[in-house]
Structure 1
Amino acid sequence: MSEQLRIGVIGVGNDFRRDDGVGWAVVARLTDRAAERPLPSGTRLMVSDGEPVRLISMWEGTDLTIVIDAAQAQPPHPGRIHRVELDGEQLPRESGETSSHGLGLGDAAELARRLHRLPHRLIVYAVEGADAGLGTGLSAPVAAAVGPLAQQIAEEITQYARTANGSSDG
C-alpha cells in the first residue's frame, strides 16, 4: 500500500585526520546500535570522503538524508553540534574555514539543487572539532558527542518514518 521510505545517513570525513572522523564514528555507532534496535526499514548507513559527486550519488532519490560532518568554528567549541536543514531555496555556501574538505557540503548541495538531485529532505549535523591533524582517534570532547548524536539521529529517523507512514504509535 505504501512505498518503502528511502533514508540515508552519511558520515563524511577522514578517519586519519583525528576529529574529521566524527561522521564515520557516528555511522559506526548507529551500525552497532542497529544490531540491537533496528533502524526503520529502508535506512542505509554510509560513509564518504565528502567528494561532491559521490555525496550526490549517495543521497539521490532519498526521502530523507542526514549528513554528519566535522566543522571548524571561530571561536571553537569542540564537541558542539549544529543542526541545519537545507532546502532547495536556501542553501548556505561554505568557505574553506568552515569545512575540513576542499569543497564544502554547501557546494555539493548547491550542485545537487541545480541538477535536481537533492534528497526530498536534507539535514546536516556539523560537529565542531578540536584537532584535524594527522592521526587516528577523536579528541575527548568530540568523542563525547558521538553517542548522544547517534541517539538523536536514530530518534529523528524513527520519528520521520512514523510520520511518513501515517503512524503516531511509539
Structure 2
Amino acid sequence: MHTPERVVVLGVGNILLKDEGIGVRVIEELQRRYMFPENVKVVDGGTQGLWLMSTIQETDRLIVVDAVLGDGEPGTLYRLERDQLPKGLRAKQSAHDSDLIEALNLCNLIDQCPKSVVVIGIQPQDIQPFGMELTEKIAARMEDLIDLVLKELHTLGLTPVSISSGGATN
C-alpha cells in the first residue's frame, strides 16, 4: 500500500510589517478558499523561525510562501528551489528569513529534511514602518502567488477543492 507524500504549504512573514506579511496573507486565503487532501497541511508559520523545525521535519515536500528580497522590482515573482536559497534569501533580510534557512540547514544536518523545498515569493514594495495592510502593488499580485502555489501542488499530483464551488481547481 502506497502512503501519500506529506506536503506542507508554509506561509512565513510578519503581518505587522506591510508586505513582509504576504506569505501569511496567502495562507489565509488558501485556507479560506480551499479544502486540501489529507496529506497536505497549509500552515501559517508567521515569524516562528527555528520553531518551524518540527513542521519541516514532518514533511516530504515543502512549499514556502514569503516576501523575497531579490534584485527585481516590487511585485516581481520568484520560484526558488532549495539549492538557490542561500543566494536568494540572504541572511538577516528580515526577522524570519535567516531563521528559516537555519532551520532547513539544521534539518539537513540531522538528515530530516524534506525531499524538496520550493519558495514561492514576491519582491516586497514596503516592509517598514509598521502597518498591517499590504501595499496596493503587492496586494494586486496575491492572486498570482496563489496560482503559483496551486500550480506547485498540481505538479505533485495534488488538487485542492474550491470551497465556494465544491469542485476541484485547475
Pairs within 5 Å for 1:87-126: 87=83, 92=86, 94-96=90-92, 99-101=93-95, 104=98, 105-126=100-121
TM-score by length of structure 1 reads 0.80
Per the alignment, residue 27 of structure 1 pairs with 27
1:60 deviates by 1.1
Taking the TM superposition and a 5 Å limit, the aligned residue runs for 1:5-20 are 5-20=5-20
Where in structure 2 are there 5+ consecutive unaligned residues? Answer: 159-169
Q: Which residue of 2 aligns with 1:159?
A: 155
Instruction: Give 3-state SS (helix, strand or coil) of 1:132's partner.
Output: coil
1:133-144 aligned within 5 A: 133=128, 134-144=130-140
Is this contact kept in 1: 2:7–2:40, CA < 8 A?
A: yes
Match of 1:56 in 2: 53
TM-score by length of 2: 0.80
**Which residue of structure 2 aligns with residue 149 of structure 1?**
145
CA contact (8 A) 1:29 1:146 kept: no
Q: AA paired with 1:60? A: Q
Matched, 1:131 2:131: no
Q: Aligned match of 2:41 in 44, 59, 68? A: 44
SS of the aligned residue for 2:145 comes to: helix
Q: CA RMSD in A?
A: 2.1
- The one-letter code of the counterpart of 2:86 is P
Identity among equivalent positions (%) equals 28
Pairs aligned (count):
155
